[in-house]
Structure 1
Amino acid sequence: MLNRLFKELFASNPGSPPSPRTPVQSHLKSRRQLEVAGQQVKTPKKGKKREGRKRSSEIYPGTRNSRYPHGKPNPLEARRDTKTAREKDKYTQLRETPVLPPQPRPSLPTPSLFLPHLSPCPSPLVPRPPVPCTPSCHTMLFFTLLLEVIWILTANGGQHWTYEGPHGQDHWPASYPECGSNAQSPINIQTDSVTFDPDLLPLQPHGYEQPGTEPLNLHNNGHTVQLSLPSTLYLEGLPRKYVAAQLHLHWGQKGTPWGSEHLINGKATAAELHIVHYDSESYESLSEAAQRPQGLAVLGILIEVGETKNPAYEHILSHLHEIKHKDQKTSVPPFNVRGLLPPLLAQYFRYNGSLTTPPCYQSVLWTVFHRRAQISTEQLERLRETLFSTEEEPSEPLVQNYRAPQPLNQRMVFASFIQVGPSYTTGEMLSLGVGILVGCLCLLLAVYFIARKIRRKRLRNRKSVVFTSARATEA
């Protein structure tokens, strides 16, 4: 009964894997297959065969084991023959049906982080048959994987960052943990707290006057304007050879006098230029060096407003209208990059810090020059009003792209020069000179009036003495 049930199940589901058979079941199957094929199967019988006994079919031809003589059909035998024919047809169908090898069950999709109800949860007690994946299933899997990729990118800090707003610099440490470390940049340089280091050599830029013949790439990346530099530019006066990679600017907005990142004695300037170099002796690229201690060397140049136009900065500012929106690029003819630096390079401050933008790697050897570069008021306004931080409308102006000063946290700031008295800007020096001149004029006027008053008093005394002596003579 169990064998018959197994055969019927196996015939109704030919694609399912065959179950293991016992030796008896295998013998029965081979015997029935031989019977279907028409071969005679000899079955050994137990005991000794009797001789002289004949079968009823031999006595009454036309019947098999029949008790009815003279060839009359036995109803029981007819019913048995019909059943045997039916079984033969079933065995023939079973032999002609191909037996497929067991197919592996397709792996189920990974449970989604956003749509857990879409992912089947197989029960350990009830086996599940393999379910074919329909086109709607493929669509569901595609969107599930897409959501997971977006979630992974967000978790790894791939989101957009800004200087203000919900993704502003106050929230950078949440997405970029190193932005909350204890050696961040920029800083406020207090000149009365710096340490003079006589071993700091004057910086000597090489190749800055002639950066080659290839045009330079100027790019609006949505955070700043960036100019690519060839590897022929490098610095001397540092512990290792640092090759130039790019430069960029930081500025404020219209109506404010500040825009630089570094402060000196708590005072900012209108803008700041950064020239980024990397250690070419130890690393092969800027991205590799950016994650290693002192892998980068950045020059910080404070920019203030002067009376004349700076021709070196004009090579950059004159092309800003070509890259107004984010991700726009243009080519700039090579020019003398040395003109972007202040005239005196021997006076600077040195400290260990970080990138001032995410991911804020603490791998920068900073050099902030004591002297400033100057641009005109018209050049500064062009820098503040030309660029946008978005690709399309509505356009967001690219302004105030500077980071607030970070705590020094017991770091040492060194100076390559001895500070004689407080440092003053050009405006402060001019105001001081005018004040001194006015003070001198006031002092001269005071001396003049005092001397005149004394002189008048003396003349009056002389007249009184002469008059008295004349009257005494007459008497």
Structure 2
Amino acid sequence: MSHSWGYEATNGPSKWGASFPIANGDRQSPIDIVPGNASHDPGLKPLKLKYDPSTCLEILNNGHSFQVTFADDTDSSTLTDGPISGTYRLKQFHFHWGATDDRGSEHTVQGAKFPAELHLVHWNTKYASFGEAVNKPDGLAVVGVFLKIGNENAHLQKLIDKFSVITNAKTQTTFVDFNPATLLPGCLDYWTYLGSLTTPPLYESVTWIVLKHQITVSSAQMAKFRTLLFSSNGEAPCCMENNYRPPQPLKGRVVRASFK
């Protein structure tokens, strides 16, 4: 495979610092969230997530994960309030997962991993575009949702049903009228901290909003995630799994909680 970075021994997270020195910066993500050390902040507002299914455009395999992209030229799908000020537009969502059901999330809670983690990526509309916002200290806000093994998730299944079309890297297909709000738990209590992208270029531009409560996924559905490939058509097949970065040092940052 020709990717300059990835999740193999030769190009995985332990090697990223060679090409992206910010990997050793002061606000890198993910982190291990220790609930007992998180500070309850009564000033944190409830999250306001407004998603319009008509802004959903396509689903793709980018060689690192699968991603669903959205039209972000209007304020139809936005995140407001919570720990942020202003309006952030939804750009895309993607997942990270492991080779087995007992690992796969990027963030951990008291050292515990979940099978997978969903990231909903939003950009600050005080900037002209996602491209302009992506490297600014307040440029992005990402909502993280943990997946836990349980009942089959009918909403996730709508994504999984498209996997046969996007099995190989650099493949995509139209994917419309999907509401990402269906991938959120009923309670939106959250932890928040200042961090970074968890993939290169690792910009320290993310206000992280990690939800306390999880959504379910069945073991059979998680197995389907692992049928996707890091490799492109014509390359030796390489299963897409363990596409997560380990927790990074907190380096004095404060994790705040919206709940007691």
TM-score (norm. length: structure 2): 0.94
**Residues 246-265 of structure 1, C-alpha deviations (whole Å, 9 max, x = no match):** 000000014x5110000011
TM-fit CA distance, 1:335: 2.0
From 31, 35, 49, give the equivalent of 1:191: 35
**What residue in structure 1 maps to residue 253 of structure 2?**
411
Which has the larger strand fraction?
2
Q: Structure 1 215/352 Cα, relative in aligned 2: closer, same or farther at 3 Å?
A: closer
State which structure, 1 or 2, has the greater radius of gyration over its C-alpha atoms: 1
Greater RCO (Cα-Cα under 8 Å, separation 6 or more): 2
From 64, 68, 71, give the equivalent of 1:227: 68
**What residue in structure 1 maps to residue 94 of structure 2?**
248
Q: How far apart in 2 are the matches of 1:215 and 1:226? A: 11
From 324, 337, 343, give the equivalent of 2:167: 324
From 319, 328, 338, give the equivalent of 2:181: 338
TM-fit CA distance, 1:376: 1.5
- Indicate if the aligned counterparts of 1:315 and 1:332 stay in contact, CA closer than 8 A: no
Q: How far apart in 2 are the matches of 1:336 and 1:224? A: 20
**What residue in structure 2 maps to residue 259 of structure 1?**
104
TM-fit CA distance, 1:344: 0.5
TM-fit CA distance, 1:333: 2.6
Aligned residue type for 1:264: V
**Residues 101-126 of structure 1, C-alpha deviations (whole Å, 9 max, x = no match):** xxxxxxxxxxxxxxxxxxxxxxxxxx
From 147, 152, 157, give the equivalent of 1:314: 157
Aligned residue type for 2:39: T
TM-score (norm. length: structure 1): 0.52
Aligned residue type for 2:119: H
Identity of aligned residues (%): 38
Q: 1:353 aligned to 2:198? A: no
Q: Map of 1:24-35 to 2, 5 A cutoff?
A: none
Q: How far apart in 2 are the matches of 1:351 and 1:417? A: 14
**What residue in structure 1 maps to residue 230 of structure 2?**
389
- Indicate if the aligned counterparts of 2:59 and 2:174 stay in contact, CA closer than 8 A: yes
User: How large is the Cα RMSD of the aligned pairs?
Assistant: 1.4
**What residue in structure 2 maps to residue 218 of structure 1?**
59
TM-fit CA distance, 1:189: 0.4
Q: Map of 1:85-234 to 2, 5 A cutoff?
A: 160-206=4-50, 208=51, 210-212=52-54, 216-231=57-72, 232-234=76-78
- Indicate if the aligned counterparts of 1:211 and 1:230 stay in contact, CA closer than 8 A: no
Structure 1 residues without counterparts, runs of 5 or longer: 1-157, 419-475
- Indicate if the aligned counterparts of 2:185 and 2:214 stay in contact, CA closer than 8 A: yes
Structure 2 residues without counterparts, runs of 5 or longer: none
**What residue in structure 2 maps to residue 278 of structure 1?**
123
Aligned structure 1 segments of 4 or more residues deviating by more than 4 angstroms = none
TM-fit CA distance, 1:215: 5.6
Aligned residue type for 1:311: A
- Indicate if the aligned counterparts of 2:56 and 2:178 stay in contact, CA closer than 8 A: no
SS at structure 1 position matched to 2:202: coil
TM-fit CA distance, 1:159: 6.5
Which has the larger helix fraction?
1
**Residues 319-372 of structure 1, C-alpha deviations (whole Å, 9 max, x = no match):** 011111110011113122211011101x10000000000010000000000000
